[in-house]
C-alpha cells in the first residue's frame, strides 16, 4: 500500500523551558506580539492533519476543540463489525476508543499544534495564533506513517466541520488522485491547504501534496532569514517561514526543539489564521474570500529573498507579518471641486456693465439737455 509520512525533521532532545513563558524568535523577531493587539486568531478553525495531539498538554489545554483518529479507522471497523454481530459492550468500548483516540505517541503532531496555537499564558511557549481553534485529525499512525486514503479522508472530514485553514506537515512522492481530489474540494470551498515543501534540500521539486498548485507550500528559514539547507526547492514553492530550531510542545507536558519545513508550515497557517481573524473583525480594503485572495495578500507583502519575484529557492519570499496585517492607509479625502464660474474669461462683472450703462445714460441726458438749450 502506498504510504505517506510526516515530513522528516531534525529532532532534538526534549528540554524544560525557563520559568515563565518563552517567546521563540519565530514570535518575537517577526513582530507577532504587535499583531496580537489587533487579534490572536479568535474564532478561526484550523485543522491539523498529523500524528495526533496531546490535547491535555498544559500549553494546549482549551486550544483543541475537536479530534478524530482516522488512522484507526481499520481498527474501528473491526470492532464495529464485532459489536454489530455480538452486541458485546466491550466491543463497543474498543470501537469507540479506536475512533476517539487521537493521542500523539510520536511527538510530531503535538509540536506542530504548539507552533500554531499554544496558549498565551504564563508558562512554556506561545503559538502564532493562540486563540485559534485546533481541529486534530490523526491521519498518521504512532510510527509517523499513514495511507494516502486516510489523508484524503482527513481533508474531507475537516471540510465537513467548516474549518477555515488546513495545515499538513506531511508528504510523499506519489501523485495520488484521492488526495488531489480532496485538495481540489478544499480549493473550491475556499479553504487554504498549507503544506510543507519537504526536507530533501538537494531536490529541485516539492513533495506531494505541496507540489499541487492549489496548495500554499512553505519552505524553511533560519533565525537570520537564510534558507535552510534541507528545505526543498521547486517551481510551486510559494513562501518561506521560520523552521529551524523551533521550540514547541511535545507529549507528556514537555517541550522540544525541532527543525524542518514541518515547523514552518503551522507557523504560516497560524499567520493566515491571524489574517482571517483580522479581516473578520475590522474588514479590509481587499477581500480574503478565496485561496487566491490569501495567496495574493501574502505575496504582495512578502520580503523577497532571492531572485526578483517568485523563484524556485524561496518562492515569493518571507511572509511579512507586520506588513500583511498592517492597518490599511486611509484614502486621502477628495478635494472639493471648485464651483464653476458661469462667465467666460472675457465676461466683465454684471455690476460693471450696469455702471457703464448708467454713465452712458447720464451722458446722453446731458447731451440732450445741451442740444435743447442751443435750440432756444
Mean pLDDT over each residue of the chain, to the nearest integer: 87
Q: Determine the pLDDT at residue 242.
A: 98
Cβ pair 247, 125 in contact under 8 A: yes
More confident residue, 78 or 102: 102
Residue 321 pLDDT exceeds 50: yes
Residue 346 pLDDT exceeds 50: no
Q: Is 98 a member of any domain?
A: yes
At CA 250, angle to CA 249 and CA 253, rounded to 5? Answer: 85
Q: Is 309 a member of any domain?
A: yes
Taking only Cα atoms into account, the Rg of the chain, rounded to an integer number of angstroms, comes to 33
Q: Which residues contact 5 (CB under 8 A, 6 or more apart)?
A: 140, 144, 145, 146, 170, 171, 172
Q: Determine the pLDDT at residue 122.
A: 86
The string of DSSP letters for 197-227 reads --S-TT-SSPPBTTTSTTSEEEEEE-TTSPB
Residue 357 pLDDT exceeds 80: no
Q: Is 68 a member of any domain?
A: yes
Residue 335 pLDDT exceeds 70: no
* Domain interval for residue 317: 3-324
The dihedrals phi and psi of 159, each to the nearest 5 degrees, come to -65, -35
The per-residue pLDDT for range 248-266, each reduced to its tens digit, is 999 999 999 999 999 999 9
Q: Determine the pLDDT at residue 364.
A: 73
Give me the percent of the chain exceeding a pLDDT of 90: 65
Residue 313 pLDDT exceeds 70: yes
Least confident of 19-33, 167-181, 207-221: 19-33
Task: Supply the residues annotated as catalytic.
Answer: 50, 108, 262
Q: Is 368 a member of any domain?
A: no
Distance CA 249, CA 292 (A): 32
Cβ pair 113, 48 in contact under 8 A: yes
Domain count for the chain, please give it.
1
Give me the percent of the chain exceeding a pLDDT of 70: 84
The per-residue pLDDT for range 127-182, each reduced to its tens digit, is 999 999 999 999 999 989 999 999 999 999 999 999 999 999 999 999 999 999 99
Residue 1 pLDDT exceeds 50: no
Cβ pair 225, 269 in contact under 8 A: no
Distance CA 228, CA 218 (A): 12
For the entire predicted model, the pTM comes to 0.83
- CATH number, domain of 133, equals 3.40.50.200
Distance CA 316, CA 295 (A): 10
Helix (H, G, I), strand (E, B) or coil at 88: coil
Q: Determine the pLDDT at residue 265.
A: 98
Cβ pair 68, 137 in contact under 8 A: yes
Amino acid at each position: 500500500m502506498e504510504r505517506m509520512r510526516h515530513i522528516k525533521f531534525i529532532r532534538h532532545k526534549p528540554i524544560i523551558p525557563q520559568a515563565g513563558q518563552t517567546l521563540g524568535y519565530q514570535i518575537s523577531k517577526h513582530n507577532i506580539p504587535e499583531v496580537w493587539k489587533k487579534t490572536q486568531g479568535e474564532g478561526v478553525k484550523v485543522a491539523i492533519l498529523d500524528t495526533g495531539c496531546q490535547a491535555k498538554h498544559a500549553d494546549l489545554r482549551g486550544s483543541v476543540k475537536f479530534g478524530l483518529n482516522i488512522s484507526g479507522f481499520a481498527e474501528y471497523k473491526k470492532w464495529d463489525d464485532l459489536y454489530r454481530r455480538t452486541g458485546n459492550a466491550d466491543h463497543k468500548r474498543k470501537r469507540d476508543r479506536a475512533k476517539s483516540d487521537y493521542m500523539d505517541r510520536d511527538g510530531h503532531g503535538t509540536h506542530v499544534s504548539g507552533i500554531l496555537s499554544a496558549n498565551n499564558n504564563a508558562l512554556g511557549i506561545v503559538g502564532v495564533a493562540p486563540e485559534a481553534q485546533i481541529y486534530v485529525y490523526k491521519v498518521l499512525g504512532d510510527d509517523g506513517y499513514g495511507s494516502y486514503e486516510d489523508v484524503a479522508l482527513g481533508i474531507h472530514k475537516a471540510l465537513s466541520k467548516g474549518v477555515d485553514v488546513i495545515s499538513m506537515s506531511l508528504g510523499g512522492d506519489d501523485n495520488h488522485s484521492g488526495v488531489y481530489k480532496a485538495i481540489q474540494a478544499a480549493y473550491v470551498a475556499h479553504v487554504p491547504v498549507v503544506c510543507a515543501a519537504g526536507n530533501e534540500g538537494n531536490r529541485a521539486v516539492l513533495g506531494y501534496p505541496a507540489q499541487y498548485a492549489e496548495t500554499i507550500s512553505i519552505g524553511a528559514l533560519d533565525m537570520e532569514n537564510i534558507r535552510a539547507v534541507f528545505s526543498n526547492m521547486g517551481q510551486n514553492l510559494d513562501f518561506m517561514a521560520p523552521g529551524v530550531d523551533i521550540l514547541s510542545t511535545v507529549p507528556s507536558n514537555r517541550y522540544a526543539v525541532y527543525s524542518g519545513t514541518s515547523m514552518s508550515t503551522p507557523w504560516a497557517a497560524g499567520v493566515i489564521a491571524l489574517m482571517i481573524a483580522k479581516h473578520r473583525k475590522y474588514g479590509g480594503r481587499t477581500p480574503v474570500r478565496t485561496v487566491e485572495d490569501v495567496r495574493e495578500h501574502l505575496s504582495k507583502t512578502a520580503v523577497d529573498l532571492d531572485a526578483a519575484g517568485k523563484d524556485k529557492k524561496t518562492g515569493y519570499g518571507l511572509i511579512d507579518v507586520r506588513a500583511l496585517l498592517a492597518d490599511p492607509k486611509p484614502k486621502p479625502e477628495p478635494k472639493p471641486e471648485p464651483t464653476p464660474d458661469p462667465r467666460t474669461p472675457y465676461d466683465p462683472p454684471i455690476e460693471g456693465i450696469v455702471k457703464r450703462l448708467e454713465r452712458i445714460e447720464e451722458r446722453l441726458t446731458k447731451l440732450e439737455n445741451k442740444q435743447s438749450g442751443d435750440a432756444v
